[in-house]
Structures are given as C-alpha cells and as structure tokens.
Amino acid sequence: MKKKLATVWLGGCSGCHMSLLDIDERILEVVKLADIVKCPIVDGKEFPPVDIALVEGSVTSDEHLQELLHIREVSKVLIALGDCAVTANVTGMRNYLKKEDVLDHAYVKAVSNDQQGKMPGHPALLKLRDKVLPLQEVVHVDYAIPGCPPPADTIFYVLAELLNDRIPNLEQERKLKYG
Ligand code: SF4
C-alpha cells in the first residue's frame, strides 16, 4: 500500500522546500510509493495523519508550537528538514536579543517606504514567542536532514529509504558520496 507523505514549513524561508523540488524527476519515484497528502505549495488544509512528515523551519510563534504538536501526534515519522528545523539556525539569530527590540528595529526604526513606522498588530498575524526553538526542543524528531538548504540528493535518499521500509543512514550515504 502507498504511504502518506506530507510537508510543511514553520519558521523558515521556504529554501528547504525549494531543495525538495530540486529532486526534479525523482519526484516520480516518490509518488510511485507515496501520496503527497499535504504540502504548502499545494493546499492549506489541516495536517492529516501521515506516515512521513517533512518539517521545514523552527518554532517561532504560538501557532507554530500548536501546529508542531499536532503534526507529531498524527505522524508516524517526523523529519526535521534543514538547519532551521534542526538548530533554529537563521531564524534563531534573534534569540540573542529581546523580541521587542528586534520588532522595533524591523518595523519602527528601519528605513522604509512605510512612513508610519508602526508595529503591525493585525490579529491574523503570528504571535511570536520570546525565543525561537528547533523542533527537537518541542517534540521527538525521528530523523534530521541538516543543511541550509539541505541537499536535494540527501532529501531524496532519506525519502527513498523510508518509502522502501529501510532505515536511512546519512553517515553511510555521505561516505559513499564523498569518501
Ligand atoms: S535551513 Fe536555510 S533554506 Fe531552510 S528554511 Fe532555514 S534558512 Fe531557509
């Protein structure tokens, strides 16, 4: 039976998903073995129960936290995709500063065409947390694919192994590739 695969991005730049798209025609091998039931490029419905979840980005807001807890609950295998998911990386740079100071510099003090210099306050905006967290500080992560962005070959390797009921071994894959 085909597996169910979903991808999502939390606090990320979408670069990891661009790298996923860089597996190019190998996506046909993936869809032979899996139905892609959710993906940010395709739709916005709630994250459904899946065999494999690829999660890009870190936890930057209350909404991300709730979403990640939900994803963990409905996913058999959760993969942290890229350095923001694994270590917080670029998105975690603000952890060295106070959140209010970062927002102030971005929206009020920054040179901009926006003459108002106001902090956006629409209720639909994400409620940023004081500190950005990598995934494993919130939930159990089964596999991590490092890189900013992670290489397409590595993403495909991990997916192909899992979809064929094998356990990915990134160290072995690295040695085969680079010696
Ligand atoms: S790991 Fe790099 S490419 Fe991926 S979301 Fe973070 S900044 Fe973007």
Domain ranges of the chain: 3-93+128-178
For ligand 1, is residue 149 a contact (CB within 6 Å)? yes
The 10s digit of each residue's pLDDT in 114-165 is 677 788 889 999 999 999 999 999 999 999 999 999 999 999 999 999 999 9
Nearest of 88, 91, 64 to residue 9 by alpha carbon: 64
What is the CATH architecture of 3-93+128-178? 3-Layer(aba) Sandwich (3.40)
| 102 pLDDT higher than 80 | yes
pTM to 2 decimals?
Answer: 0.93
The C-alpha atoms of residue 54 and residue 76 are separated, in whole angstroms, by: 11
Q: Any idea what DSSP says for residue 55? A: E
Residue 16 alpha carbon, nearest atom of ligand 1:
4
Query: Cβ atoms within 10 A of the Cβ of 38, count?
Result: 20
Q: What pLDDT does 116 receive? A: 74
Q: Which residue has the tokens 């397409």?
A: 152
Best residue among 10, 14, 16 to mutate for probing ligand 1's pocket (most ligand atoms within 8 Å of CB) is 16
**What is the rounded CA–CA span in Å between residue 163 and residue 4?**
9
**DSSP run (H or E) holding 59:** strand 59-61
What's the token pair of residue 132?
A: 């950005």
Pair 140, 77: CB distance under 8 Å: no
